[in-house]
Amino acid sequence: MSISVTTWYLEQTSRADLTPAAGPAAEQDVRIVRSQVPSPEFSRFLYTAVGGDVTWTDRLGWSYAEWVAHLGRPGVETWVAYERGTPAGFIELTAEADGSVEIVFFGLLPGFRGRRIGGHLLTHGTERAWDLAERWPGRAPTKRVWLHTCSLDGPHARANYERRGFRVYDTTVTEEPDVPAPGPWPGAGPMEPA
């Protein structure tokens, strides 16, 4: 069985396009830190914990060596939001030689959604996409920041991107296998009501 999936491609072509979000409440103590030591274990944890309930499956089959190779590429950065020391979400950036930076993955763990952390993390991550070349000597300055989201993502994902100043530049519709969301590990996730 298959389902129809709509994918929207969005971009910013100027740093001035970014509309920052208000940060979370001060008592939440949210910090955003770059994960500078490549760690396949940590990156896979973030990927499964954030994407498990919205059908992120592309990297589930990656070997340890594939994670190491990807995370070690110049211009790949992972920024992690922590609330009082607990990982709340992440944003992964990948710079290309043409001056474009893709927001490859972005999201929050389910327990941290709806608390103004997402807009704050997206703002910070987009700012880091625009100044990425400053951290990678020899890399061309960023000319474009882009991403894609689809109808399988969270219900507020596209609106959050558009509120931050991203504009849709392309839309596709494809038929994809109807697979259940994998969760962060087998059997994980909120309990169904009895």
- Residue 189 confidence (pLDDT): 53
- Residue 114 confidence (pLDDT): 87
Residue in 94, 93, 101, 99 with CA at minimum distance from that of residue 138: 99
Q: What CATH architecture applies to the domain 2-177?
A: 3-Layer(aba) Sandwich (3.40)
What does the CA dihedral 159, 115, 31, 188 come to, rounded to 10 degrees?
A: -90
- Residue 154 confidence (pLDDT): 83
Residue in 104, 92, 105 with CA at minimum distance from that of residue 34: 92
- Residue 193 confidence (pLDDT): 43
What is residue 194's DSSP assignment? -
Domain boundaries along the sequence of the chain: 2-177
User: Residue 191 pLDDT > 60, yes or no?
Assistant: no
- Residue 186 confidence (pLDDT): 63
Average pLDDT over residues 85-92: 97
Separation between Cα atoms, residue 121 and residue 174, nearest integer Å: 29
Average pLDDT over residues 23-37: 88
**pTM above 0.75?**
yes
pLDDT tens across 158-187, in order? Answer: 999 999 999 999 999 999 888 777 777 665
